[in-house]
Amino acid sequence: MEWTSKKIRETFLEFYKRKGHHIVDSAPMVVKNDPTLMFINAGMNQFKEYFLGDSEPKNVRVSDTQKCLRVSGKHNDLEEVGVDTYHHTMFEMLGNWSFGDYFKKEAIEWAWELLTEVYKLDKDRIYISVFAGDKNDNLELDGESKEIWKGLIDETRILECDRKDNFWEMGETGPCGPCSEIHVDLRSEEERAQIDGKSLVNEDHPQVVEIWNLVFIQYNRKANGELVDLPNKHIDTGMGFERLAMALQNKKSNYDTDIFMPLINKVVSISGKTYGATDSKQDVAIRVIADHVRAISFSIADGQLPSNIGAGYVIRRILRRAIRYGYSFLALNEPFVNKLVEVLVAEMGGQFPEIKLQQSLITKVILEEEESFLRTLEKGISRFENYAAKNQDKNIDGKFAFELYDTFGFPIDLTELLASEKGLHVDMQEFLNCLQQQKDRSRAATIIKTDDWVTVFDDEREEFIGYDQLVANIKITRYRKVIIKGKEQYQLVFNFTPFYAEGGGQVGDTGHLESNDEKLYVVDTKKENNVIVHFTEELPKDVNKTFKAAVNADARELVESNHSATHLLHEALREVLGSHVEQKGSLVNDKHLRFDFSHFQKVTAEEVKQIEEIVNNRIRKNIALEEIRNAPIKQAREMGAMALFGEKYGDLVRVIKFGSSLELCGGTHVNSTANIGLFKISHENAIAAGIRRIEAITNKTAETFVANQLEELHAVKGLLKNPKNVQGAIKDLLKKNSQLAKQIDALNKDKAKGAKGDLMNEAIEINGIQFIGKELDLDSASIKDIAFDLKGKNDNLFIILGNKVDGKATLTIAISDNLVKDKGMHAGNLIRELAKEIGGGGGGQSAIATAGGKNPEGINVAIEKAKVLLDS
């Protein structure tokens, strides 16, 4: 059978469906609402809350293929991707899960059945590893797994490995357990005859690779390092889709499979180079590009645009790495990555419709980034050339290389390349020192220390009641201390809460907790793994009490006003600009709202006006909120409710309806549109290629804004003595002003001209030089003008002029060019000497110089002194 990648994926899902698993969609690759993670890096991420026991799974057996992104970690360094043949930034992970249902026996036996009987992998090429135990954690060999495997495979093919390879942990703390890995040996018969495959397991051999990891989650690691048994045991497995394809398609590299070859062929045809699957720089470059375009495209599809912070910065770095490799090793100095999107969509748009639907946006965003980075490269190169020309030694200073990198974004390997072309080398040690210092600085700024949760009393899930109530009597179920930048904070969880946690663009509620004898403030509310966490700066004296929890109602009202207005804005945008408008980001707080959306041109002033009109019309119509709390997602979609790319929805969703505006939304809203009061767009601008941002205000904030504008206008009118036509009055004023300025200019020139004529007559000869020295009643600019003019028109001339402005003195010296050249006279040096007489300092060039000082009486003394100097 021909195992195309499509067929491999379908077969996997089909197999587990037969084993009673519910097949779910891949979660968006970009993680929201989890501060510990930027991107999905394993299949289990979207099920984390079930492992932690924070919520109850609807299905105990689940299977999927999950888009993952890894750019750092113990086995994945971005700089290594493309160099070898089996690591990727973005990859798919095929997985099956059991949440407290089946455990090791089924997990192992099904994996074996699928690999050997369905995919028909050669049993002789398979090796198994099991956990060998660990003294520090007081854990013994995972004999249970070993016994199960012994029933399936020859014992000699089972390896016992230590915790580095066979004990899986989610993070510093949390659910964990031993795992069992399945490795395959894909080498040729000859190679296998020479070296036993068993000795190559876990040795980073490109053809002896791990393809599947079966994790048996049975412990919870606490902050003090102690392991405790979990009440429910879980299965979490992950199989590398690209590696499986390599095995089934009999290839030596993931890149040779039908997953990557179409992309590689396209790079080949764009660059005019050939691909030889070797480790030459050229082939590495082609692999890097084929890999990275996938990561970037899927991230953009999931709503993450390249930017200079957080997840967006990671995407930008990946894209820039692709461009850099193309630029350095394939001589591609025009944008090219965007041209690959079309190939990717053709290959993967079926399984992942999000990239097909957003193809034009993805292409445009990548193109824009490419152009901007190519500009950065150009500037860096010219900066480097400049430096190299000035410093003709054999070393490129590490500090300079770091400055290029850090401040101007010029990649260090390009600096090295440019240097070696000139026979220079870069002081890498110093560069790395600088980089390390920068890292230390950043890390020190973001230290977060988290204690274990302290359980106050057991309760079922925390419930959110804030849609209906802003005040409630609550009990604290658990709390913990966190230290952020040396500042202590407490995180509290309640049995139920009126506080809305930050999400869907809406900020978290603030408010307070109150009991008889104390009151403490909730400064923020956030969600962590679906649990609502309240942030306070202190802990109540007695956490067992019942507290009155009250949301800051004024702030909440303004937030709701802005949130509902956002929905109306979204709908109006689609009506005015077209249905290509998709939400790309949203922020709603009590001050204003911000809405990012896909659109390719500036929104014109006329369109802004139309949008405001539509929204304000709907506000005036007083449309009542219709809220459906628990609509099945399918039904909600059929109603035509707007959903977002890159957002993960549960089976039951909340639908918010204001007339014809219909959106899936978890946020809080006004009861009726009239509560919004007034809607006003304050800014419209671009934030990225193809993405515009609108900022707007509503309610009291909008009223205040309008009132202030009117007040300002009244004030302006008042200053102009209330003219009928304000604009005309101001235009006249400006015109008059410029006329006056011209007149003054002309008068000054006249005055200077007069002075100039007189001056030449006053010239006296000293030592063969024409000397003019005089104090004039003119402004400094005119004096300079005169001095320049006379010096330009006359050879053999020395002029020194003085004037007084605001009780301060200024001296100006000008010397004809021939004197400077022939006699080596220097106005700058002379004036430094003379400036002492007026109690100041000065300087300038050889032909003209100025000085200032506080002592106007000294002007004439200075002029006399100049005569003496010339005479000597």
Partner RNA sequence: GGGGAAUUAGCUCACUUGGCUAGAGCGCUUCGCUGGCAGUGAAGAGGUAAUCGGUUCGAUUCCGAUAUUCUCCA
* 739 makes contact with RNA (CB under 7 A): no
Query: What gap in Å lies between CA 789 and CA 750, rounded to an integer?
Result: 14
Taking CA 785 as the corner, what is the angle to CA 781 and CA 789, rounded to the nearest 5 degrees?
175
Query: What gap in Å lies between CA 847 and CA 791, rounded to an integer?
Result: 9
Burial class (CB in 10 A: 0-12, 13-18, 19+), 247: buried
Q: Give whichever of 627 and 785 is closer to RNA, judged by the CB atom.
A: 785
* 206 makes contact with RNA (CB under 7 A): no
Give the C-alpha distances (Å, rounded to integers) separating 397 from 378, 404, 414, 417, 651. Answer: 20, 11, 15, 15, 59
* 35 makes contact with RNA (CB under 7 A): no
The piece of 307-315, 614-622, 736-744, 749-757 that touches RNA (CB under 7 A) is: 307-315
Residue of the chain from 54, 397, 459, 789 that contacts RNA (CB under 7 A): 789
Q: Is 323 helix (H, G, I), strand (E, B) or coil?
A: helix
* 844 makes contact with RNA (CB under 7 A): yes
Residue of the chain from 313, 554, 602, 754 that contacts RNA (CB under 7 A): 313
Least distance (Å) between residue 235 CB and RNA: 31
* 585 makes contact with RNA (CB under 7 A): no
Q: Give whichever of 446 and 761 is closer to RNA, judged by the CB atom.
A: 446
Q: Give whichever of 569 and 851 is closer to RNA, judged by the CB atom.
A: 851
Least distance (Å) between residue 486 CB and RNA: 12
Instruction: Residue count of the chain, please give it.
Output: 872
* 397 makes contact with RNA (CB under 7 A): no
Q: For RNA, how many residues bind (rule: CB under 7 A)?
A: 48
Residue of the chain from 643, 785, 860, 870 that contacts RNA (CB under 7 A): 785
* 438 makes contact with RNA (CB under 7 A): yes
* 775 makes contact with RNA (CB under 7 A): no
Interaction residues for RNA, span 407-426 (CB under 7 A): 407-409
Question: The tokens of 338 are what?
Answer: 């965007």
What's phi and psi for 85, nearest 5 deg? -115, 5
What's phi and psi for 594, nearest 5 deg? -135, 130
258-261, long-range: CB < 8 A, 24+ apart: 258/4, 258/5, 259/5, 259/347, 260/287, 260/290, 260/291
* 761 makes contact with RNA (CB under 7 A): no
Least distance (Å) between residue 405 CB and RNA: 6
Per-residue binding string, RNA, 267-306, x by CB under 7 A, is: ----------------------------------------
Residue of the chain from 270, 435, 628, 766 that contacts RNA (CB under 7 A): 435
Per-residue binding string, RNA, 347-386, x by CB under 7 A, is: -------------------------xx--x--x-------
Question: The tokens of 312 are what?
Answer: 């967006």
What's phi and psi for 24, nearest 5 deg? -115, 165
Question: The tokens of 372 are what?
Answer: 């901007």
The piece of 191-199, 340-348, 399-407, 815-823 that touches RNA (CB under 7 A) is: 399-407
Per-residue binding string, RNA, 239-258, x by CB under 7 A, is: --------------------
* 680 makes contact with RNA (CB under 7 A): no
Question: The tokens of 128 are what?
Answer: 């198994």
DSSP state letter for 276 = -
Q: Is 305 helix (H, G, I), strand (E, B) or coil?
A: coil
Torsion angle of the four alpha carbons 453, 456, 458, 463, in this order, in degrees rounded to the nearest 10: -80
Give the C-alpha distances (Å, rounded to integers) separating 857 from 641, 810, 837. Answer: 84, 11, 9
Least distance (Å) between residue 218 CB and RNA: 30
Q: Give whichever of 631 and 811 is closer to RNA, judged by the CB atom.
A: 811
Least distance (Å) between residue 89 CB and RNA: 15
* 316 makes contact with RNA (CB under 7 A): yes
* 198 makes contact with RNA (CB under 7 A): no
Interaction residues for RNA, span 457-486 (CB under 7 A): 485
Tell me the H-state helices in 351-396. 353-357, 359-390
Q: Give whichever of 637 and 836 is closer to RNA, judged by the CB atom.
A: 836
Residue of the chain from 840, 860, 867, 869 that contacts RNA (CB under 7 A): 840
Q: Give whichever of 110 and 327 is closer to RNA, judged by the CB atom.
A: 327
Nearest to 322, CA basis, from 302, 294, 293, 342: 293
Locate tokens 């040396």: which residue? 486
Give the C-alpha distances (Å, rounded to integers) separating 40 from 31, 309, 448, 860. Answer: 6, 18, 21, 81
Residues contacting residue 413 through CB under 8 Å, at least 6 positions apart: 324, 328
Least distance (Å) between residue 176 CB and RNA: 22
* 856 makes contact with RNA (CB under 7 A): no
Least distance (Å) between residue 33 CB and RNA: 17
The residue type of 521 is: Y
Q: Give whichever of 273 and 784 is closer to RNA, judged by the CB atom.
A: 784
DSSP state letter for 27 = P
Least distance (Å) between residue 363 CB and RNA: 19
Residue of the chain from 759, 797, 815, 851 that contacts RNA (CB under 7 A): 851
Query: What gap in Å lies between CA 134 and CA 223, rounded to an integer?
Result: 19
Q: Give whichever of 696 and 851 is closer to RNA, judged by the CB atom.
A: 851
Tell me the H-state helices in 446-551. none
Around Cβ 269, how many Cβ atoms within 10 Å?
A: 10
Residue of the chain from 105, 281, 439, 731 that contacts RNA (CB under 7 A): 439
Residue of the chain from 788, 833, 860, 867 that contacts RNA (CB under 7 A): 788
Residue environment code for 751-761, b if the CB has 16+ CB neighbours within 10 A, otherwise e = ebeebbeebee
CB of 830 closer than 8 Å to CB of 849: yes
Q: Give whichever of 469 and 845 is closer to RNA, judged by the CB atom.
A: 845
Locate tokens 């202190």: which residue? 538
Query: What gap in Å lies between CA 37 and CA 676, rounded to an integer?
Result: 36
* 446 makes contact with RNA (CB under 7 A): yes
Query: What gap in Å lies between CA 493 and CA 533, rounded to an integer?
Result: 5
List interacting residues with RNA (CB under 7 A).
308-310, 313, 316-317, 320, 372-373, 376, 379, 403, 405-409, 435, 438-439, 441-443, 445-446, 485, 784-785, 788-789, 792, 808, 810, 828, 835, 840-845, 848-854
